[in-house]
Amino acid sequence: METKITTHIVKGLILSAISIVFSVVMYVFNLFEYSWLSWINTAIIMGGLIYGNILYANQNSNNVTFGNLFAHGFKTTAVIIVITTAYTVLAFKVLFPDMIDIILEISRKKMLENPKMTDEMIEQAMSMTKKFFVPFAIGGTILGTGFTGAIASLIGAAVAKKNPIDLFSNPAS
């Protein structure tokens, strides 16, 4: 019986769903002030991508190359980028529009702690941030997830067992 291979789309959907649920939990419990929690989400995505590459190698009887594994991991990353970017736009514009104000207020508190920041500087920074918040969030999602996915795909491709079959070494007569 042939082993069924889990596609990069399925893995991307699963990891995206985990990331979105994590984001919703952070919103519901108002955990934005704990910036270290976002690193947990990053670790889950990285772990999932690395495991996904190892699973892909095992499902192919380890007859894969480093390039095959990296490509599979990065295709999974591309799926995650598309879904989480769509969620980011939806969350800020439709689902949780007050999330922007909550995040801006946390930023304001952090700026007030800096003695070098005047009230005028803070107001200017806040107005600029509010104006470009969604485009920066989209860009951050794309670049951050892409970078994280590339690193995790490299690690996953490096640690997965590889036994590539060289089709040209034993030609059939």
Mean pLDDT of the chain: 88
Residue 111 and residue 122 in contact, taking contact as beta carbons nearer than 8 Å: yes
CB-side neighbour CA atoms (13 Å) of 142: 8
**Model confidence, pTM:** 0.85
Output the pLDDT for position 120. Answer: 84
**How far from 15 is each of 53, 73, 100, 124, 159, CA to CA, in Å?**
13, 12, 24, 37, 20
Q: What is the mean pLDDT of residues 47-56?
A: 95
Output the pLDDT for position 170. Answer: 62
Residues 139-154: pLDDT tens digits? Answer: 999 999 999 999 999 9
DSSP structure string for 60-115: TTT---HHHHHHHHHHHHHHHHHHHHHHHHHIIIII-THHHHHHHHHHHHHHHT-T
